[in-house]
Amino acid sequence: MTNASQELIQSPELPTLQEEHEVQSDNAPEINIQEPTQPSAGQLIKQARMQAGLHIAALAVTLKVPVKRLEALEDDNLNLLPDMVFVRALAASVCNTLKIDPEPILALMPKSGSTRLDNVSKSIDTPIRRSALSNDKVSPMDFMKTPWMIGGAALLLGAAAIYFWPTMKSDSTKTIQESKTSGVIEMASKESNAIQVTPVVATPVTAATAPVISTDTANQPSALTASANTTTVSDGIVAFKASGDTWIEVKDAKGATVFKQLMKAGESAGANGVLPLSVTVGSTNFTQVLVRGQVKDLTSIAKNNVAFFEVK
């Protein structure tokens, strides 16, 4: 072995295998493994509703609650709802309607009354302030500045105002009445001077023949009302008649909503727009649909009491 090769082997500048491994481990990127997050109560409710194929508006009609409250529940915006008792009751009702177990969803929600207990515990821990009256030396001015003294003075002033107000009001009323009476007398005297006497000519009174109102004419308002409703319904390409609480939405070919309404029993309406029209019927068992005057069969296309169809 030559002297050059020996110097190369013994050179301290060459890194060893262990040092190279440490350098590579330092330069290796860190891998962050994130654990999957558990879905919230609102997300579970929304997933169950979508799996059941139930529109949120149809669910609102079934539960008889506004759509905004169901949207707040599914989006976990619980601060938009009245209180936790209402939130838990609404969640349980939705679960019963969707036929799912409410216990796992209620377990993810805050307990009802927890906020109230936290506030009570905070109020218990609040230190008691010493009143100004607890000092050994109380000046008269400090005594007059106490809240209950100020409140007592306000009550006395209010009682005095109530006692003297009827007298003041009666005096002012008398003054106003006297001024009005004098003004009326002056105006009456001026008008009597300006009035000229005109002779009264008697005109013969002829007996007018009273028109006979038939029963058909008397019933005309109801007939007009019925015809007006019929005209309103027949004017639309698609028409609706409700026999119970139902929800209707109609969109035109551009996606614009041309009709959207919660209808009660006995109501009827029609809709027009750029064809094709996309129609959603919330409660098919309480809704009769007419397309260009022909009855539309909803039983074959309804799912969970909700029907979707197009009018071309």
Q: What is the CATH number of the domain that holds 288?
A: 2.60.40
Query: How many structural domains are present in the chain?
Result: 2
pLDDT at 208: 37
In a domain, 153, yes or no: no
> What predicted TM-score, i.e. pTM, was given to this entire model?
0.37
In a domain, 26, yes or no: no
For 188-233, write each residue's pLDDT tens digit: 455 544 444 444 444 444 433 334 433 343 344 433 333 333 334 4
In a domain, 105, yes or no: yes
In a domain, 89, yes or no: yes
C-alpha to C-alpha distance for 55 and 215, rounded to whole angstroms? 49
User: What is the mean pLDDT of the segment spanning 135-159?
Assistant: 67
pLDDT at 160: 78
pLDDT at 246: 92
pLDDT at 164: 73
In a domain, 192, yes or no: no
In a domain, 70, yes or no: yes
Q: Where does a domain end: 52, 85, 114? A: 114
Q: Where does a domain end: 64, 80, 114? A: 114
pLDDT at 140: 57
> pLDDT > 70: what percent of the chain?
54
In a domain, 21, yes or no: no
In a domain, 146, yes or no: no
Identify the CATH number of the domain in which residue 80 sits. Answer: 1.10.260.40
Q: Where does a domain end: 63, 89, 114? A: 114
> Quick check: 275 pLDDT over 90?
yes
> Quick check: 257 pLDDT over 90?
yes
> Quick check: 270 pLDDT over 90?
yes
Domain that holds residue 289: 232-311
For 34-87, write each residue's pLDDT tens digit: 555 788 888 999 999 999 888 999 888 888 999 999 999 899 898 888 888 998
pLDDT at 253: 92
pLDDT band at 175 (very low <50, low <70, confident <90, very high): low
User: What is the mean pLDDT of the segment spanning 285-296?
Assistant: 93
